[in-house]
Structure 1
Amino acid sequence: MATADHLFGLRNNYYLGAYQAAINNSDVPNLSQEDSVQRDCLVYASYIALGSYQLVINEIDSSAPTSLQALKLLALYLIGPENKQTTISNLQEWLGDPAIGNNPVLRLIAGIIYMHEQDYNEALKHTNAGGTMELHSLNVQIYLKMHRSDYAEKQLKIMQQIDEDHTLTQLANAWLNLAVGGSKIQEAYLILQDFSEKYQMTGLILNGKAVCCMHMGNFDEAESLLLEALNKDAKDAETLANLIVCSLHLGKPSSRYVSCYLRVQDILASDMAGCSMYMFISCYLSQLKLSHPDHMLVNRTSAAEQSFDRAVQAVE
């Protein structure tokens, strides 16, 4: 007989992006020692997701279990660029230790860190064997980053065989559908809509639904969802980035002025339909630069700005 999962609510909150709710409702009674460690991992992972890196670093000491030490490594990696190389060196040393190298949380953190480094092959070296739903779902994300939806689909099928109704399985299905596009976008939207009806509405769900709407050309609905997400967290990177893209489309661009200044992937922007639209985009972009200076959109925008400045200097 299957035992009750005392951490189901806590896990679900974390998976769906309800990080503060996960923290607030983490006082679960009658946990085994193993479950207590898992509970603490989810709590500290939630703090990391909220950007409270120093709290995690301060509270996890050298006597903590390997899983918690791995989360401390992630916090050290994310807190600032000056720590990255030292953290990666420590990570490699731990992964090479036969006593702890196969710890699933450590392998998960390795995958996350190397995905941040855009070293997807190295990430897969540590995650591809799977073993937990978290590792399988991370594999789906990595393969989608590599534009290998075929391999992502194989990982999803493994997750479906383990537990088709698992929250991570459903999320992975939505991610894959978004990547495939076409008629699959509607399927992704329905998955996210189901989550929004069953559970607390979070920035993660709102952003997912908004991206689906943008793919389907429903930019007004997308903007409404993103503004709701912005009210929940004014500094969320994906909300700000998606608002920039959505605002460009709502501005009905003609590809003249801002196309040189604000290049968002392959989307060409322009004069906007009035200064107010440009002001909104500038505000979102400024906040994104301030809160997340290493975000892909910030890097691409900076590169576009430099190219524009060089072009201006060439004709002056």
Structure 2
Amino acid sequence: MLAAISPSSNFFHSTIEEEAEADTKPLVFFSRALDLDRPNHHEAAVMAAIPDFLFGLRNSFYLGAYQAAINNSDIPNLPADDALERDVLVHRSYIALGSYQLVINEIDSSAPTALQAVKLLALYLSENKEAAISSLQEWLSDAAVSNNPILRLIAGTIYMYEQEYNEALKHTNSGGTMELHALNVQIFIKMHRSDYAEKQLKIMQQIDEDHTLTQLANAWLDLAMGGSKVQEAYLIFQDFSEKYQMTGTILNGKAVCCMHMNRFDEAESLLLEALNKDAKDAETLANLAVCSLHLGKPSSRYLNQLKLSHPDHVLVRRLASAEDNFDRAVQSIA
């Protein structure tokens, strides 16, 4: 996740069948923000000269190696800001692994704003949605903390989950971090606004075209655009698989590309490998259900697992809606 810029952060996965409703309200405000949000190349050069103690930890998190991120988080003598970022990444990794209560218990009221924001995400995902959103709104109304980048990231993530995309963009559109830019790409894709997603991607490429999040965002946009772009997305995930530890995020990315290219046997093989890594991963189960349908195989086992473990997943909601519509249609002609 940015959870998962997934939820779970995996906040960044999507099934081949997913189509979020587009929010077609005017985007003039966000267009202005995109024009203003240009990278500071001097600042980037200065930052490049500073040792990045958390590079490996961030990379593990972005690519879905959550347990590895936790296991490798004991980094000695970190500066205070890096130590806080480390703690944020570790707790977000626990959230991505479904350990919501652990995060809720460990972060108390004296913790910094960034960790309090992470706790709100854990509360939201642990079915305390109303309380989490109410607390989030209070934090966002406090001028002293409302511009905190992690708070803005969590706000954008939660409102994206709620499909309140314009509300999400109010808190993320000004960017400021690579994760916020990457989340903007996700949100615009869900709004079926690939043009705005492409503008965000270009900003990321100007800042650091080789950054893992830039490459991920590029792959998401390629998938959204379809056609020959899907092969380019596949090559990005293939490159990840050759450079880094194989994760469910990478396997699902490659599998979705394969499904778009009608290579369902290859997709199934990749997804079964992902299932061996995490038998309860929502995106793996959803993608396996879709892939099985295309292969003419039973999908009920994967769907039932998904319904039990992730009842709010978009595929589960869409199936429930379709079943309700069918039942009403039958009753109308009975």
Task: Choose from 240, 244, 260 the match for 1:215.
Answer: 260
Q: How does 1:45-194 map to 2 (within 5 A)?
A: 45-80=92-127, 83-194=128-239
Counting matched residue pairs gives 287
Task: Give the AA of the match of 2:56.
Answer: G
User: Structure 2, unaligned stretches of length 5 or more?
Assistant: 1-45
The Cα shift of 1:302 comes to: 1.5
Task: Give the AA of the match of 1:212.
Answer: C
* TM-score normalised by length of structure 2: 0.84
3-state DSSP of counterpart to 1:90: helix
Structure 2 Cα separation of the partners of residues 212 and 5 of structure 1: 32
3-state DSSP of counterpart to 2:52: coil
Question: 2:59 matched to 1:12?
Answer: yes
The Cα shift of 1:190 comes to: 0.4
Structure 2 Cα separation of the partners of residues 156 and 208 of structure 1: 18
Structure ranking higher on relative contact order (CA contacts 8 Å, 6+ apart) = 2
Task: Give the AA of the match of 1:245.
Answer: V
Structure 2 Cα separation of the partners of residues 117 and 16 of structure 1: 24
Q: Deviations over 1:125-176 (max 9, x none)?
A: 0000000001000000000000000000000000001011000000000000
Task: Choose from 307, 313, 324 the match for 1:306.
Answer: 324
The Cα shift of 1:305 comes to: 2.4
Larger Rg: 1
Q: Deviations over 1:241-294 (max 9, x none)?
A: 11111111111xxxxxxxxxxxxxxxxxxxxxxxxx22xx11000000000001
2:50 maps to which residue?
3
Runs of 4+ in 1 over 6 A off after TM superposition: none
Structure 2 Cα separation of the partners of residues 201 and 169 of structure 1: 19
User: Structure 1, unaligned stretches of length 5 or more?
Assistant: 252-276
Structure 2 Cα separation of the partners of residues 304 and 76 of structure 1: 29
The Cα shift of 1:310 comes to: 4.2
* Aligned-pair Cα RMSD in Å: 1.2
3-state DSSP of counterpart to 1:234: coil
Question: 2:241 matched to 1:196?
Answer: yes
Structure 2 Cα separation of the partners of residues 6 and 31 of structure 1: 8
